[in-house]
Structure 1
Amino acid sequence: MLGLGELELKVMDVLWAAREPLRVRDVLEHLSDERKLAYTTVMTVLDHLHTKGWVRRTMSGRAYHYTPARSREEAGAGLLREVLDSSGDAESVLLHFARSVSERESELLRRALNQSPEQPDGGPS
């Protein structure tokens, strides 16, 4: 994702998959399967993610507990919004994107565009 380094994205993946807030040590345990990382490295990454607004943290006892500031889907949509806003030619970007989507994705877009603002879930109003 734009604005995230490789390790930051891996940490976000751990947080998005979690069902509850995680401590640095919890995140480290989930990441240790892939490669050996120092506790302080993960702590620094989480601190940077907090500064960037990607995670929220609350103090519990002597340790911070981290949660994503937004869902993976919200983050993806926000990044797409940034690309469109900064492209200088949103129409061209959208047309290139539309040509790259699968049939299923195309159908999802059609349904979303056909929904009225009062029906965000697609159900009857």
Structure 2
Amino acid sequence: MHGLGELEAAVMDVLWQERPLKVREVLDRLETGKKLAYTTVMTVLDNLHRKGWVTRELEGKAYRYEPALSRAEAAARTVRAVLASSGDPEAVLMHFALSATEQESDLLRQGLRKRKRLAAS
């Protein structure tokens, strides 16, 4: 995910698969190819909480963490950030539209129709 470090993205992948989880449970499910310390994962989760990527609720003496937004919402946030930083969002959208597959085009049309219906209600 754009805006996330490699370990942060791996932690989010774990949380999107199964939630809510305590630090130890996230650590046990992480597959980074490296041995990580409990405190490292705790720090990553604290950072993700500070950045608004996860919420947490105290259970006994430990927090349970879960994503603040779905994977799809996070991806949409990333697309929005890329568009905002591009310097020419209209050109980027036009290039995407011209290169979109038929299925992607259909999905975009469906989304725009749904947006129009929601705005009208």
Which interval holds the TM-score relative to the shorter structure? 0.7 to 0.9
Q: Aligned runs of 1:69-108 on 2, under 5 Å?
A: 69-108=68-107
1:10 aligns with 2:33: no
Per the normalisation by structure 1, the TM-score is 0.85
Write the letter of the residue equivalent to 1:55: V
State the partner residue of 1:57.
56
Quote how far apart the aligned CAs of 1:104 are: 1.5
Aligned counterparts of 1:51 and 1:60: Cα–Cα separation in 2: 19
Matched pairs, number: 120
**Partner Cα separation in structure 1 for residue 32 and residue 89 of structure 2:** 41
Query: What TM-score do you get using the length of structure 2 for normalisation?
Result: 0.87
Q: Which has the higher contact order (CA 8 A, sep 6+)?
A: 2
Percent identical among aligned pairs is 60
| Structure 2: stretches of 5+ with no match in the other structure | none
The Cα shift of 1:34 comes to: 3.6
What are the superposed Cα offsets for residues 7-52 of structure 1, whole Å, 9 maximum, x if unpaired? 100000000111x310000000101574311111111111111111
Q: Which structure dedicates a bigger proportion of its chain to helix?
A: 2
